[in-house]
Chains A and B, each alone.
Chain A
């Protein structure tokens, strides 16, 4: 199928892009990698009146170290660039590992880090990753900007706090704390396919191997990335024993996720996967924590 007719703008600067978005209002839509938007338009599930293509806005493509040991990633940075960047793997080894699980190389070559976040697909990796890593998003509009925490950004499936005239400009990852470890676990029917259930676990331990912080983020099993409260309650301040981890896994799978049934698997199966994957993820993350 072909998309419905639309107008097309290709600004070359952020200022120009923001001005265009401002003038278009509800009619405008940002085009990033196009890996989700274009198929949606071809299926006529999306019919934007105008596209504002960011692919010529050079200043949105970057990965910069921040002085505190974190990273700032321009929204248009391609997934494959994030995946292969040495600084990323040095500071956040979990990031390239997770990104590698997104679809196939062709899609990662076009798809963008910020585009995935703005898209807010409940089955997507990068939104969950941003919650797990406590990312902060720089949101800009003509004549203004604001910072939004990843945790507060996702409102529902494909829904975020972004206003039509706003643009996600930058993703900042604060440094990993000392004593932290991370793990990624996912199950999909076909490699490169969307996960049936997945979990990103980031833990921090003290010198006595007690859990100082734990962020377990589940996705593909609810409407948005789900940051587990149970994990915190049970584990923080304690030594993460196998029993404690098993309890967390059990409780999360019972109380905190809401998977659906689809052609690839039943809700019960995906709930079961959550239990297995949380246990595996936490075990691995704590093993890695140092």
Chain B
């Protein structure tokens, strides 16, 4: 039997198409109350006075909660540096201040949403304004005001890589190329804004039904903030309307739990519901980090890169979120999947008064890849070497050392991926290596419409990196008598639309030798599933697959031993990774990777500055496509999202205020804006550690797009643009120079 490898229909397809599937905002319970949140609206200030008495007295208001109602007023995925509620009376120092406009100050719980909204306006609040810093390069300066005075510096993440001797190598280089790359913020713009429902369940647990990416991490952070034992908190994820990293950090989780819990303590046993508007969503959750990357690379005449020196600055925004982890990735990926003997990287994550920045598909990879690939394409041009050929001369092979001094894990396929993509895009290998045949250039017949082609490649880690604890549980239960009639898989993976529930069931069926219909999935409820880690880092198929295989094997054994039902659990633990050495960066960063290459064709209207993405060819080594149709969906989705990042989307913040709070001001691609053609080339070079050889793949098609577009624009117009999004005005002013 082979269910793995089949494009089976998604297990959640029918419910979603018919509208039966419930998302967090769709849940209702009898007698529920409604919550609205008072946001700071001020990017940096101390709250001098907060008076909620009028709001409390407003008819229909059940309660108003502020900082003094939070038992342990802090949370955060990697460090608890964010108050649950900002304001006076907090249990934590410096929690009386707001650091970005989306900081949460007060919660109003009322009979209706409208009453809650009216009562919000009655809260009196007095701010003492503090200086606002929005540029991380300013925030790094010694005399800059501290966002978190208890920390002593606005730099909260710092890595160094020292491999070889870059100074000496630059002297030996035949050419040196430099660039100063700036990458923009990006909004996740998932279909479903944040929403949820909290209540006290039959076992007395504070329970929330919400969208997130990691049930057990939410549970832990809620328990910490509410000072409750872990098992007093229950987190349930139903169907989730998209995430892309934007739900990795919490938004409504803690405050929902807090509201139901505090009401309960006051003897008011009512569920609490919240649904954020799009504007609340846009200011209320983090964005993709803007990066500032200074790059200097030296190469020999034959194209071999011998030195890379990078300075990488990430705008962390007001709170850490996952910044240090994102920075870790960018630090590794900013020199590309290349064998470079001398590397020096200095990287920084810095607090500012912008919205916090955090996880977003690619997780530092896209920013790193932009710098690396722009550099590689510039080098190719300077040396007169074809962009594919120069990559072939520098790409990592099995056993080659990364910038951090250790080799990639086994299964390095990047050269084969680049080759597959190049061939599909018209490259040929001749006596002098790879080249694009003359006359390949597309002519439009219109002098103001210029076409160009660009190439880029990348590698993306699968799973948590740099020593972060990494594991995944699965439980398998086999029911029946003589024969297995039904298998139940208990697993905590969040179905954020990516299709994980389907591949989990596919893999369980395969591992058990059962048809899919016999496998039932109980998912993402901390009361019945064990910790499976987050849906992030392209990890879930890889991690869950291995966990499911282990659990299935053991359950089958128990079945043979006549246990009824036969139940087994298994925790998969991948090979260990290690953190950056603080001085040299030496580390074993990851246990698995996926490899990707893209060739794109763009059309630039040189009179209006408009850039149109005509065609994208994307080759991905996914190890094994557990569900080929879903793989294709991920490739196409990533390409479209990356196209938005590169060309259309333009998140604008000014003095700590967001100017693009709606989807009419923050434009994302619609079906009419996407490339005419996305050709996905799915390659299956097994990862020896992956389940059935699978690698993770949800992020990697995203990574090379922006630099490939940058190269194509250069090809079309003769200009390099080191900063994107490639808005018409940026293109035009660049062309005028």
Q: Could you list which residues of chain A lie within 8 angstroms of chain B, going by C-beta atoms?
A: 104, 187, 189-193, 263-266, 269, 272-273, 276
Contact = CB atoms under 8 A, between A and B. Distances in A.
B673 A187 contact: no
B667 interface: yes
B187 to A, nearest CB: 14
Given A265-B728, A269-B732, A189 B608 contact: no
A264 B668 CA distance: 12
A192 B728 CA distance: 17
A276 B729 contact: no
A187 B608 contact: yes
Interface hub of A104, A190, A276 (most chain B Cβ within 10 A)? A190
A188 to B, nearest CB: 9
A269 B665 contact: no
B443 interface: no
B14 interface: no
B660 interface: yes
Contacts of B672: 104, 190-192
A216 to B, nearest CB: 18
20 contacts: A104-B670, A187-B728, A189-B728, A190-B648, A190-B668, A190-B672, A191-B672, A191-B673, A192-B672, A263-B652, A263-B659, A263-B660, A263-B665, A264-B665, A265-B729, A269-B609, A269-B728, A269-B729, A269-B732, A276-B607
Contacts of A104: 670, 672
Contacts of B669: 190
A227 B648 CA distance: 31
Contacts of B728: 187, 189, 265, 269
Given A104-B672, A273-B608, 20 more contacts: A104-B670, A187-B608, A187-B610, A189-B727, A189-B728, A190-B669, A190-B672, A191-B670, A191-B673, A192-B670, A193-B667, A263-B652, A263-B660, A264-B665, A265-B729, A269-B609, A269-B728, A269-B729, A269-B732, A276-B607
A273 B729 CA distance: 11
Interface hub of B660, B668, B669, B728 (most chain A Cβ within 10 A)? B728
A67 B728 CA distance: 46
Contacts of A265: 728-729
A193 B664 CA distance: 9
A265 B667 CA distance: 13
A158 to B, nearest CB: 17
Contacts of B729: 265-266, 269
Interface in B628-676: 648, 652, 659-660, 665, 667-670, 672-673
A190 B667 contact: yes
Nearest to A275: B607
Contacts of B673: 190-191
Interface string B591-618: 0000000000000000111100000000
A263 B662 CA distance: 11
Given A263-B665, A273-B608, A276-B608, A190 B670 contact: yes
Contacts of B668: 190
Nearest to B736: A272
Majority DSSP secondary structure for residues of A touching B: loop
A94 to B, nearest CB: 21
Interface in B564-615: 607-610
Contacts of B607: 276
Majority DSSP secondary structure for residues of B touching A: loop
Contacts of A187: 608, 610, 728
A272 B670 contact: no
Contacts of A269: 609, 728-729, 732
A34 to B, nearest CB: 18
A67 to B, nearest CB: 39
Q: Nearest 10 CB-CB pairs, A to B?
A: A191-B672, A190-B667, A276-B607, A263-B665, A269-B729, A191-B673, A187-B608, A192-B672, A189-B667, A276-B608
Contact of B667 (A264, A272, A273): A264
Contacts, number: 39
Contacts of B610: 187
Interface in B652-704: 652, 659-660, 665, 667-670, 672-673
Q: Which range contains the number of B residues in contact with the other chain?
A: 10 to 19
B396 to A, nearest CB: 39
A272 B732 contact: yes
Contacts of A189: 648, 667, 727-728
A72 B652 CA distance: 46
A159 B693 CA distance: 66
A193 to B, nearest CB: 7
Interface string B227-240: 00000000000000
A104 B727 CA distance: 23
A151 to B, nearest CB: 29
Contacts of B670: 104, 190-192
Nearest to A276: B607
A189 B665 CA distance: 10
Contacts of A273: 608
Nearest to A194: B664
Contacts of B727: 189
Nearest to B667: A190
Contacts of B648: 189-190
A250 to B, nearest CB: 14
A252 to B, nearest CB: 16
A263 B661 CA distance: 11
A149 B115 CA distance: 49
A255 to B, nearest CB: 20
Nearest to A192: B672
Nearest to A197: B608
Contacts of B667: 189-190, 193, 264
A246 B673 CA distance: 30
A199 to B, nearest CB: 13
Nearest to B644: A190
Interface in B446-477: none
A42 to B, nearest CB: 12
A273 B732 CA distance: 11
A262 B660 CA distance: 11
A290 B703 CA distance: 51
A21 B667 CA distance: 39
Nearest to B607: A276
Contacts of A192: 670, 672
Nearest to B674: A191
B664 to A, nearest CB: 8
A272 B609 CA distance: 11
A266 B665 CA distance: 14
A193 B668 CA distance: 11
Nearest to A262: B665
Interface string B707-737: 0000000000000000000011100100000
B101 to A, nearest CB: 17
A38 to B, nearest CB: 16
B642 to A, nearest CB: 17
A276 B672 CA distance: 23
B189 to A, nearest CB: 13
A263 B648 CA distance: 13
B251 to A, nearest CB: 22
A189 B608 CA distance: 11
Nearest to B669: A190
A189 B652 CA distance: 15
A38 B610 CA distance: 33
Interface in B519-567: none
Interface in B106-163: none
Contacts of A266: 729
Contacts of A264: 665, 667
A269 B652 CA distance: 18
Contacts of A272: 732
Nearest to B663: A190
B332 to A, nearest CB: 35
A187 B608 CA distance: 8
A234 to B, nearest CB: 21
Nearest to B664: A193
A192 B670 CA distance: 9
